[in-house]
Structure 1
Amino acid sequence: MQDTTTSPDMCTLARFSESPADVTDAMAMNYSREPLDVERKADLSLVTQTDRAIEAATRERWIGRTAV
C-alpha cells in the first residue's frame, strides 16, 4: 500500500510537469534563433547553452516547488 500522506497525486504531478514544459519550450525557441554554442562535457558528450539554461530553469522551478 502506498503512503499518500507525502506522495503527490497524479493530477498534481501532471500540472507541475506541464508548466516547466511550456517555459522550456519557449526558451528553446528563443535559443534556436541564435548560433549554437556547443561544448563537451567531462564525459565527452555534447551540451549547448540551451541545454544548460533549460536544466537550470527546471532545477530552479523544482527547488522552489519542493521547498516548504
Structure 2
Amino acid sequence: MSFFTSGVDVIQKILILVGAAIGLWGAVNLFEGYGHDNPTAKNQGIKQFVAGAGIVIIATLLVPQLKGLFS
C-alpha cells in the first residue's frame, strides 16, 4: 500500500508543477497582451491562468483524497 501512497504523492507534485507552469505561461501572455494592446492575447492569457489555477486547486484538494480510497 505504500507504493500506492507514494504514487499519489508523485502524481500530486507533477500536477502542481504542470498547473503552475500553465498559470505562469498564462500570466506572461496576459502581460504581453496588455503591453501590445492585444485583446486576443489577453483573453488567451486569462484562460490559461485560470486553467492553471484550477489544476493546482484540484491537485491540492482532490488528489490527496485518493490515499484514503483504498486504506
TM tier, smaller: 0.3 to 0.5
Greater fraction of residues in helix: 2
Considering Cα pairs closer than 8 Å and 6+ residues apart, tell me whether 1 or 2 has the greater RCO.
Answer: 2
**TM-score, normalised by the number of residues in structure 2:** 0.40
Higher share of residues assigned strand: 1
* TM-score in terms of structure 1 length: 0.41
